[in-house]
């Protein structure tokens, strides 16, 4: 009797330590993604909230593992299906790290870790702990990256729904709403990405607290998406009415956003409580309660694969170095009748442009006091992001402004900038698909009749799709 009483405690400690070691091995295998995530979380332009989401996910897993220690027996081991899924993610991550966007690579690494964490929980605990997996996966979603990748399609959807809310007299034109006389554009900062990502994290946390199973967790996540999209559409419709009436106070957007998000939180919490009440605990059949076994060969194989993944990534990175050949750009010499005078970029801007895959230059526009930054690249790249990221990294105060059209009918995005010890200024930017042979002369000749996009997300979706005619792109940023 005494041996039987002591044995489970010893096995429990051994099981927990072994599982923590396996999760650590997978994390170390993805060291490149871990460094990238660290930058995404703690860089000035990043999101410390995403790091908190990751920490909450890991702590939730540790709490569930310790709490469910009574469910462990000496026969229990890791779930083989989850280990196989983790191994598949590691293989794809290692082979395609240099070819995939950084966000996708980070998601693959976090999915591999999430699969291991889920697979190391007792089966009874795991069935009600899927929120932990989604918290881990969602922790890579820094708002600036999501705005780049999904901001444009999200604005299209929000615009269509807002037009339906406002009635037949209002139409959605691209990412804007118009009644024929007035047109209000849903700018990138108003895409609803932050509301969507926050709603998904909240839904995952509620799934952990209420111990929802997979089906109901997925249903709650779907409800969070619907609430976020509908809430942002309601905000866009309200702002259209207010703006059309002549009130263009940009602070109204923040007020409406807080009100709508509070309503979404209440609705999501109520939906989670309803799902929990309607969830009937399934009786444990003999088939479901059988011990899950993953023998030593499976565990050793995953450890070996983790080592290979840690080494193969730098091999691919070294092979990719030097693949790009750049030719110096002959920049335009005039703009709007003013001479473009080359000026050196600041140290912060130099860091901002350090890894840009193309050419860039900054000019002073005659004696007007304006500065213009030109960035030119030959392919769709995440690194041609908004110049607002640079100012965000410097901690400068920024405020979104309505988009404007220039004399050529092209739409430019804008934001207001207030730097210490200097007067507030306006920054506007636009992306142009230009002739690859453009050289010298006037900037107006470069962009005349060229397709244009007011923000990085809409440009990227046009340039990255298969068969896109967009090749050489010129990003123009004007500090007025």
In tens, the pLDDT along 71-127 reads 555 445 567 778 888 888 888 887 777 777 777 888 888 888 888 888 888 777 778
Residue at 324 is within a domain:
no
- Mean pLDDT for 225-237 is 87
Boundary of a domain, candidates 316, 351, 378 = 316
Q: Residue 220: its pLDDT value, please?
A: 93
Boundary of a domain, candidates 316, 345, 365 = 316
Same domain, 449 and 370: yes
**Pick from 297-311, 341-355, 384-398: least confident:** 297-311
Give per-residue pLDDT as tens, 138-151.
Answer: 888 766 677 777 87
> Where do we find the tokens 């942002």?
232
Rounded to whole angstroms, what are the CA distances from 211 to 85, 220, 275?
23, 12, 10
Same domain, 299 and 217: yes
Residue at 326 is within a domain:
no
- Mean pLDDT for 423-452 is 83
Residue at 325 is within a domain:
no
- Mean pLDDT for 362-376 is 85
Q: Residue 71: its pLDDT value, please?
A: 54
Q: In 215-228, which positions are buried (b, 16+ CB within 10 angstroms) versus exposed (e)?
A: ebbebbbebbeebb
**Residue 26 CA neighbour count, 13 Å, CB half:** 32
Choice between 363 and 100, residue whose per-residue pLDDT is larger: 363
3-state secondary structure of 362: strand
- Mean pLDDT for 151-170 is 83
Same domain, 81 and 139: yes
Residue at 328 is within a domain:
no
Domain extent for 429:
334-479
Nearest to 109 by CA among 15, 166, 31: 31
Same domain, 67 and 184: yes
- Mean pLDDT for 315-340 is 63
Same domain, 297 and 338: no
Q: For all residues of the chain together, what is the average pLDDT?
A: 76
Q: How many domains does the chain have?
A: 2
170 pLDDT more than 70 = yes
Give the containing element (helix H, strand E) for 206: helix 193-209
CB of 53 closer than 8 Å to CB of 201:
yes
Give the percent of the chain with pLDDT over 70. Answer: 75
Same domain, 23 and 93: yes
Same domain, 397 and 291: no
Same domain, 242 and 120: yes
Predicted model pTM: 0.76
Give per-residue pLDDT as tens, 33-86.
Answer: 888 888 778 766 667 788 888 889 888 888 887 776 555 554 455 677 788 888
Nearest to 188 by CA among 141, 231, 156, 227: 156
């Amino acid at each position: 009797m005494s041996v039987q009483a002591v044995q489970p405690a010893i096995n429990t400690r051994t099981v927990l330590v072994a599982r923590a070691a396996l999760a650590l091995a997978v994390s170390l295998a993805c060291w490149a993604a871990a460094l990238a995530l660290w930058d995404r979380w703690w860089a000035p332009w990043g999101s410390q909230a995403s790091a908190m989401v990751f920490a909450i996910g890991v702590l939730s897993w540790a709490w569930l593992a310790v709490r469910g220690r009574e469910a462990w027996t000496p026969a229990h081991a890791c779930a083989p299906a989850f280990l196989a899924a983790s191994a598949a993610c590691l293989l794809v991550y290692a082979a395609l790290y240099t070819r995939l966007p950084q966000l996708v690579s980070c998601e693959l690494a976090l999915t591999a870790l999430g699969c291991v964490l889920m697979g190391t929980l007792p089966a009874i605990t795991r069935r009600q702990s899927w929120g932990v997996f989604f918290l881990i996966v969602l922790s890579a979603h820094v708002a600036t990256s999501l705005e780049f990748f999904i901001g444009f399609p999200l604005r299209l959807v929000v615009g269509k729904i807002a037009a339906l809310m406002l009635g037949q007299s209002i139409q959605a034109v691209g990412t804007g709403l118009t009644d024929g006389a007035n047109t209000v554009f849903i700018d990138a900062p108003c895409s609803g990405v932050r509301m969507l990502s926050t709603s998904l994290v909240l839904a995952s946390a509620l799934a952990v607290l209420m111990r929802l199973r997979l089906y109901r967790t997925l249903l709650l996540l779907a409800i969070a998406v619907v609430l976020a999209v509908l809430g942002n559409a309601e905000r866009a419709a309200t702002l259209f009415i207010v703006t059309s009436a002549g009130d263009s106070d940009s602070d109204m957007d923040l007020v409406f956003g807080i009100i709508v998000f509070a309503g979404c939180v209440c609705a999501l919490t109520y939906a989670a409580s309803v799902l929990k009440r309607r969830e009937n605990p399934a009786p444990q059949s003999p088939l479901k309660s059988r011990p899950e076994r993953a023998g030593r060969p499976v565990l050793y194989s995953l450890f070996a694969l983790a080592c290979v993944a840690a080494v193969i990534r730098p091999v691919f990175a070294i092979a990719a170095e030097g693949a790009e050949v750049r030719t110096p750009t002959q920049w335009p010499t005039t703009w709007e009748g003013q001479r473009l005078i080359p000026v050196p970029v600041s140290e912060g801007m130099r860091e901002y442009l350090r890894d840009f895959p193309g050419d860039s230059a900054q000019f002073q526009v005659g004696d007007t006091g304006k500065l213009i930054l030109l960035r030119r690249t030959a392919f769709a790249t995440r690194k041609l992001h908004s110049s607002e990221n640079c100012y965000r990294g410097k901690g400068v105060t920024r405020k979104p402004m309505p988009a404007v059209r220039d004399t050529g009918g092209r739409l430019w995005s804008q934001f207001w900038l207030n730097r210490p010890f200097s007067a507030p200024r306006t920054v506007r930017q636009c992306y142009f698909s230009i002739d690859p042979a453009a050289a010298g002369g006037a900037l107006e000749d470069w962009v005349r009749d060229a397709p244009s996009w007011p923000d990085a997300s809409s440009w990227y979706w046009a340039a990255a799709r298969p068969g896109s005619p967009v090749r050489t792109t010129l990003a123009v940023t004007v500090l007025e």
